Amino acid sequence: LDLTEGHTIVDRAHSALNLFGHIDVLINNAGVSSRGSVLETDIRVDRTIMETNFFGPIQLTKALLPSMLERGCGQIVVISSIQGKMGVPLRSSYSASKHALHGYFDSLRVEVAPRGISVTLVCLGYVQTRLSVNALRGDGSQHGVTDATTAKGMSVEKAAHKTIESFSLHKRECVLAKPIHQIALYINMLCPELIDWILRKRAKVN
């Protein structure tokens, strides 16, 4: 399912409903990252990332939500990132798309909770996937490199296990990241200027 092709999403959702009868859990797990400064990133790359990371998932959710509401039960799980809670240099489009997910699904959670639907946001740190390899540079080409932070990240198996655990407990939000990155989120709330300074230093090193 290509989430940049909006015309196919509703058809695929209806096909799934016809095949299974209903959907108990929807996990929105699509994602493409970015590598490049705001200035050097073509607007078409920004749009591609927003289509994949934001508009695709919300269109799929809209397609399946009516059947969940009709049954009065269902779970919507959104795989986000700690970058949806804190902007990071050279990842502007990716951070923006994840921030958008948080605003949208936080709103949806409040709307549908009285009707038996739960929404869980899972904020991942670095996970050993091909996210950095498939990330888009400013000109739209693939980054093609496994970043050191990704290589040292959480295993896919552990991330999957923790994700299942979090939505099984109907958690509102779950942060799955190393302690240092969780601490960074708290510092960002308490003293955002300090995080800005740290990220500027990090960007210069990289």
Tell me the per-residue pLDDT of 49-84, one tens digit each, with 9 for 90 and over.
999 999 999 999 999 999 999 999 999 999 999 999
> What pLDDT was estimated at residue 204?
66
Q: Which residues of 154-189 are buried (b: 16+ CB within 10 A; e: fewer)?
A: beeeebeeebeebbeeeeebbbbbeeebeebbeebe
CA atoms within 13 A on the CB side of 107: 6
Q: What is the pLDDT of residues 137-177, one digit of tens each?
A: 999 999 999 999 999 999 999 999 999 999 999 999 999 99
Under 8 Å CB-to-CB from 82, ≥6 apart: which residues?
123, 124, 125, 175, 177, 181, 182, 184, 185
What are the pLDDT digits (tens) for 121-141? 999 999 999 999 999 999 999
To the query of whether residue 94 is one of the catalytic residues in this protein, the response is: yes
* DSSP H/E element including 71: helix 56-71
Could you give the percent of the chain with pLDDT greater than 70? 99
The residue among 80 and 204 whose pLDDT is bigger is 80
Closest CA to 64 of 14, 30, 5: 14
Active-site option among 94, 104, 126, 186: 94
Sign of CA dihedral 106, 61, 92, 132: positive
Q: What is the pLDDT of residue 206?
A: 55
Mean confidence (pLDDT) of the chain: 94
The structure tokens 């946001």 sit at: 121
